[in-house]
Structure 1
Amino acid sequence: MLASEDILSFKSYQNRANLFVKEYLLADSLIPYTSVISGMLACKMVYELTQHIGSNYFKIYSNFSKIQRIEWNNRAISTIHAIFITSMSLYMVFCSNLFSDYQSTELITERSSSLSTFALGVSVGYFIADLGTILWFFPALGGYEYVIHHLFSLVAVAYAMLTGEGQLYTFMVLISETTTPGINLRWYLDVAGMKKSKAYLINGVVIFISWLVARILLFIYMFYHVYLHFDEVEQMHTFGQILVIVVPLVLSVMNLVWFAKIIKGLRKTLAKRQ
């Protein structure tokens, strides 16, 4: 009898929780705020979990300086975020019907959904948390190029989340986060003293290929897509038009500069192995 009452009580709480999520957390008017907070809380949770795992399961972690430990934890956060937002962006751009030219008569620059807005909100929460960390420990975790990158990304993603404008192009740009796990793994291999390992070489090749596809070729495709739908882009608010055109251009220049460094580093690594 007691077990039966416990089950009914559990189901009651479960139904209330589901109702709370549907009517409040996922209500259209509250999605931007709840998603941003969720993103920031997720960052905090991953940071604490990474710190715990590093302290208890990695001997090298105890030999790190304070800044190295912070960077170790911070890179774990950026890796988790990259996996999440890349998966969501690939789904939204290539799998979902939301931005399909044949599924809606609505302007492609004005299409959005609860799911797309929530995903962008989580990303905004990450950029706020990460930018705050970079500024707090500046320049230990990254120089001005990281600050500029995060500021542009934060403004563009937040605008798309709050207004619903240009979400397609925002997701296209966010696919570039697919290179982040490789970049972070390279840092982990470096601090672990594995620069001469085969894994380090393979990682360099993977970074080169993923950067070429996600941060060079995909941006070219995005600019071509903007060109094809420029009549719809022109109907966006002026600030939205600037974000759709200027932000990807600035990021493209930064991507090319970093790509040149990647090529130089890869050539140096290959030369040492000959």
Structure 2
Amino acid sequence: MDTTTFNTLCISFLTFQFLFYFVSHWFSAKVSSGFTHLSAEKQIEWNSRVVSTCHSLVVGTFGLYLFFFDEPTIADPLWGDPSLVTVNIAIASGYLISDLVIILFNWSVIGDKFFVVHHCAALYAYYFVMTDGVLAFVANFRLLAELSSPFVNQRWFFEALKYPKLSRANIINGLLMTVVFFVVRIAAIPPLYIFVYSVYGTEPYKRLGFLIQCSWICSCIVLDVMNVTWMIKISKGCIKVISLVRQEKAKTSLQNGKAD
């Protein structure tokens, strides 16, 4: 790992720690009066999700730009010059380490084994990008999954503030969350493994070495299993809300009919 990458990772880590411990509480109290009425435990999780949203918007937006316009990695997904992508990966890695620290120090409140596994698997995969400069395009492609996090976090914010489940804001966010999560985390799975199949056995693929080959595939499988599991839960919640909306409409229609 070169000095620039290491410094970016450290700055990212410190920035997200600063956001969690100092900025989020102040900002949240300013924009939402309901925040100050939450319990201390809820405020901890709220702050962690604010930081998560900030991270997602930064690396997701930057990643989307790189996905379409970073010519070196587009031309050579396995060995293309990873300079710009490495910056994004370092930012993401700094966040993941920061979030792991926050989770471990607040385990009784926000401890989650799935998140620990997710973060460790992602960090392990990103390590090879930052140290060996390989698979930059693939790593950035995986980072696009972060585009779904703001909607997931917003859903939690609405619940914490006790927004009605059938409120327009909740329903719109829920639908967007389901669609975006599916597009960036589930629909992205087939193209990834089709790409793996297309490069398997080629000379550039062989040059990766057995360790990186295995690490690449294994980390992707772990992350994808978790994404599918989360997608199932999100889909069930979305179907439940749609069902409630239909029941409410039917109930309203029946009441109107009786009134007539």
Provide TM-score, normalisation by structure 2: 0.87
> Structure 2: where are the runs of 5+ without partners?
247-260
Partners of 1:152 and 1:254 lie apart in 2 by: 11
User: SS at 2:107's partner residue?
Assistant: coil
The question of whether the paired residues in 1 share the 8 Å contact of 2:90 and 2:130 is answered with: yes
Partners of 2:138 and 2:115 lie apart in 1 by: 21
Residue 109 (structure 1) shift: 1.4
Equivalent position of 2:178 in the other structure: 208
Residues 170-214 of structure 1: CA distance to partner in whole angstroms, max 9, x if unpaired? 111111111100000000111111123111111111111111111
* Residues 1:239 and 1:88: Cα distance change in structure 2 (over 3 Å): farther
1:252 aligns with 2:221: no
Residue 51 (structure 1) shift: 1.0
Alignment of 1:69-88 (within 5 A): 69-88=43-62
Give 2:64's match in structure 1, choosing from 90, 93, 96: 90
Equivalent position of 2:187 in the other structure: 217
Provide TM-score, normalisation by structure 1: 0.83
Alignment of 1:1-274 (within 5 A): 29-47=2-20, 48-101=22-75, 108-194=77-163, 195-230=165-200, 231=202, 232-274=204-246
Partners of 1:115 and 1:204 lie apart in 2 by: 33
* Residues 1:139 and 1:175: Cα distance change in structure 2 (over 3 Å): farther
Q: How many residues align?
A: 242
Runs of 4 or more above 3 Å deviation: none
Partners of 1:139 and 1:174 lie apart in 2 by: 28
User: SS at 1:153's partner residue?
Assistant: helix
Residue 220 (structure 1) shift: 1.3
Residues 205-244 of structure 1: CA distance to partner in whole angstroms, max 9, x if unpaired? 1111111111111121111112112223332032211222
Partners of 2:173 and 2:32 lie apart in 1 by: 21
Residue 249 (structure 1) shift: 1.1
Letter in 1 for 2:63: S
The question of whether the paired residues in 2 share the 8 Å contact of 1:37 and 1:125 is answered with: yes
Residue 112 (structure 1) shift: 2.9
User: SS at 1:243's partner residue?
Assistant: helix
Equivalent position of 1:8 in the other structure: none
Root-mean-square deviation (CA), in Å?
Answer: 1.7
> Structure 1: where are the runs of 5+ without partners?
1-27, 102-106
Residues 122-180 of structure 1: CA distance to partner in whole angstroms, max 9, x if unpaired? 11110000011112222521421111111101111122112111111111111111110
The question of whether the paired residues in 1 share the 8 Å contact of 2:35 and 2:161 is answered with: no
Partners of 2:82 and 2:185 lie apart in 1 by: 26
User: SS at 1:31's partner residue?
Assistant: helix
Equivalent position of 2:252 in the other structure: none
Partners of 1:44 and 1:144 lie apart in 2 by: 21
Partners of 2:48 and 2:24 lie apart in 1 by: 9
